Amino acid sequence: MADPDALEKTNRINLLFDFYEPLLTEKQRTFLKQYFHENYSLGEIAAAFNISRQAVYEHIKRAEAMLNDFEDKLKLLAKHEERQREAGRIEALLAGLDPEIAQEIGRRVRHLANID
């Protein structure tokens, strides 16, 4: 059975990566994609780049730290998640309105929630 904390960490890193990918080096992007998106092992990545597992591990850890630092400073993921929660609350409130009006407001709320 998969470790729930590991899954949560992987999901968080993937979300942070979505927001901050352009701020990472090419090597950091490549290693994070292979490790977190494609589920390659450290050994597989090391073999592909002819470097040690420890070097891959250090690149990944440094990139993770950078992603968390970017989020601590910029809060893009936190703001996105709050917009999504608010959009859900608004859509729940729309349930009691005229369907046409609720649909139009819902469309506009979803548009706002996805502006990034």
CATH number for the domain including 45? 1.10.10.10
Tens-place pLDDT, residues 19-33: 999 999 999 999 999
Domain enclosing residue 95, as ranges: 78-113
Distance of alpha carbon 113 from alpha carbon 16, whole angstroms:
17
Residue pLDDT, tens place only, 44-60 = 999 999 999 999 999 99
Total number of domains in the chain: 2
29 plus 63 within the same structural domain: yes
pTM summary value = 0.80
Q: Tell me: pLDDT of 63 over 60.
A: yes
Residues 65 and 90 both lie in one domain: no
In a shared domain, residues 52 and 20: yes
Please report, for residues 13, 17, 30, the alpha-carbon distance to residue 65 in angstroms, rounded to integers and kept in the order given. Answer: 10, 12, 16
Distance CA 40, CA 48 (A): 10
Kindly state whether residues 54 and 90 are assigned to the same domain.
no
Kindly state whether residues 82 and 64 are assigned to the same domain.
Answer: no
